[in-house]
């Protein structure tokens, strides 16, 4: 049924194209903007937060809608630039009606789907901006290649910082900015809950060095070995007297439990698996250092300007990580070679090679970079 609906949406879009033409007409005024984020992943949602700010700064009287699903609403809760959240979980036809009623002037599809583009196009939005990949690509279907021709096309480049490329989607309405700082917000109630928890466990953000460790992520080819994380946690606890917190959600339970099973019994830690998102944001604002794989929690670290140490194996670090700096350390094997996945190819890759690229990062690589970072932090 889902596929039939998608084909119908695409077919109607193509028929309408014969009469309407492309959705590439710059609006006379920008009073309402829709941002569609098809995937509600934590990291992807955080990475588009500069988009909301850029729109509101250029068009302060505009109304900004965010359309997503899942935990999207919780992640962006409290964002002052977003006027209304819309769930994309409804039927395409209901969404089309809602969007028509709102008379959207401009829409961006930051992580587009074929049917999502069809919904935007059939909503009568005069200008729609979305990514197109030139050359060989392995993430979008042939139907998407057809649908993208109905809207304004913005090139998506492999090996280039993705959050900056999201901002390129705003060029059709005259927005050009290099402010890529992520922003997240949380309630006073959530902050109080976190502070009460820390106080009850004799942890003081003003005096203790708090380290959040995220050993999981969306796919295990990005996971650094559990026994290495365990040794690194022991090292942090013994050498730097760090307060250690494991963070993650859902399927991150296994990598966290695996790490704990290898740790020294004397190393104290807190397991914050499945912490409510609002409290998670508040907690991360208090953390001094975040250590993890190339995953969502590392984007949270950037939002709150925490120091971070990220292990990179089969992914292209240029796409979601900032270059090495005093408080930002990227750790990868010297023998890695070219990463096997990137923003234009994360579906078809050599899994054995991907795991090798992660496995060859040694514990010594981790402790050496940690010592450099800790020295920069004055520890």
* Tens digit of pLDDT at every position of the chain (379 positions): 556 677 788 889 989 999 999 999 988 889 999 999 988 788 999 999 999 999 999 999 999 999 998 888 999 999 999 999 999 988 889 999 999 999 999 999 998 788 899 999 999 999 999 998 865 655 567 778 888 999 999 999 989 999 999 999 999 999 999 999 999 999 999 999 999 999 999 999 999 999 999 999 988 999 999 999 999 999 999 999 999 999 999 999 999 999 999 999 999 999 999 999 999 999 999 999 999 999 999 999 999 999 999 999 999 999 999 899 999 999 999 999 999 988 887 777 899 999 999 999 999 999 999 999 999 999 8
Residue written as token pair 């939005």? 125
Give the Cβ contact number of residue 178 at 10 Å: 8
Q: What is the pTM of this model?
A: 0.94
Query: CB within 8 A of 163, min separation 6: which ones?
Result: 47, 48, 50, 180, 182, 320
- Domains annotated on the chain, with CATH: 2-173 (3.40.50.2000), 188-376 (3.40.50.2000)
Cα distance between residue 205 and residue 355, in whole Å: 36
Angle between helices 226-240 and 363-376 (to 10 degrees): 30
């Amino acid at each position: 049924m889902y596929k039939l609906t998608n084909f119908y949406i695409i077919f109607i879009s193509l028929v309408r194209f014969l009469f309407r033409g492309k959705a590439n007409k710059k609006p006379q005024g920008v009073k309402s903007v829709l941002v569609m984020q098809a995937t509600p992943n934590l990291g992807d949602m955080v990475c588009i937060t500069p988009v909301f700010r850029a729109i509101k700064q250029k068009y302060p009287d505009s109304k900004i809608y965010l359309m997503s699903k899942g935990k999207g609403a919780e992640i962006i809760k409290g964002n002052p630039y977003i006027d209304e959240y819309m769930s994309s979980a409804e039927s395409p036809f209901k969404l089309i009606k809602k969007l028509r009623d709102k008379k959207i002037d401009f829409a961006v599809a930051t992580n587009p789907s074929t049917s999502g583009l069809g919904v935007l196009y059939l909503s009568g939005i005069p200008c729609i901006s979305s990514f197109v990949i030139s050359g060989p690509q392995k993430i979008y279907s042939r139907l998407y290649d057809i649908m993208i021709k109905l809207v304004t096309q913005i090139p998506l480049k492999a090996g280039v910082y993705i959050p900056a490329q999201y901002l390129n989607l705003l060029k059709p309405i005259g927005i050009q900015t290099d402010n890529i700082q992520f922003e997240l917000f949380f309630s006073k109630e959530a902050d109080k809950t976190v502070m009460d928890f820390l106080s009850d466990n004799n942890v003081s953000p003003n005096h203790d060095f708090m380290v959040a460790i995220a050993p999981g992520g969306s796919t295990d080819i990005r996971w650094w070995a559990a026994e290495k994380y365990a040794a690194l946690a022991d090292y942090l606890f013994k050498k730097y007297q760090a307060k250690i917190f494991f963070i993650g959600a859902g399927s991150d339970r296994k990598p966290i439990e695996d790490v704990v099973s290898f740790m020294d019994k004397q190393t104290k830690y807190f397991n914050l698996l499945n912490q409510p998102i609002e409290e998670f944001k508040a907690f991360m604002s208090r953390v001094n250092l975040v250590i993890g794989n190339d995953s969502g929690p590392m984007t949270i670290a950037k939002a709150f300007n925490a120091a971070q140490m990220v292990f990179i194996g089969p992914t292209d670090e240029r796409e979601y990580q900032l270059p090495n700096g005093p408080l930002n350390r990227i750790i990868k094997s010297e023998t890695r070679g070219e990463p096997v996945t990137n923003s234009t190819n994360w579906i078809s890759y050599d899994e054995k090679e991907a795991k090798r690229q992660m496995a060859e990062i040694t514990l010594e690589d981790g402790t050496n970079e940690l010592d450099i970072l800790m020295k920069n932090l004055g520890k």
